[in-house]
Structure 1
């Protein structure tokens, strides 16, 4: 089982979720208004009020063959809109 984490601007969430569904992932979880610090600086807590600049964190769990479909669907979107995605191993308890 694989875990895929995607961090993207909330404004671009629609196309990202559509790509995850089309790729064949069984489901996902979305956490909105994610803030933090990355290579391009930090997201200000002051942006939370307007939502401008806020990020979303999407997590999905899937089989390895679905990861390849996710890679094909998400990579062009991330290249265009920005954001990051990571794949890691996951083991159910």
Structure 2
């Protein structure tokens, strides 16, 4: 009877040890996944910043080109008016 209880206690201890190991492994995996998600989020944020910067650069370049085109047209109109007035 004593041997039975001892074996029963040993099996219970083994089950507890296995359960704790599984829980620890699960916690480690969750921490690893959280770190991966954080790294992916950081990378996505960096890519978004770069994309926004490229958009701003492109927008600025487009605006500058449009402004220059507008100035050229205004200069041309002024030159045409001046030429008409001089005739």
Q: Normalising by structure 2, what TM-score?
A: 0.19
**Which gives a bigger RCO, structure 1 or 2 (Cα 8 Å, sep 6+)?**
1
More strand per residue: 1
Higher helix share: 2
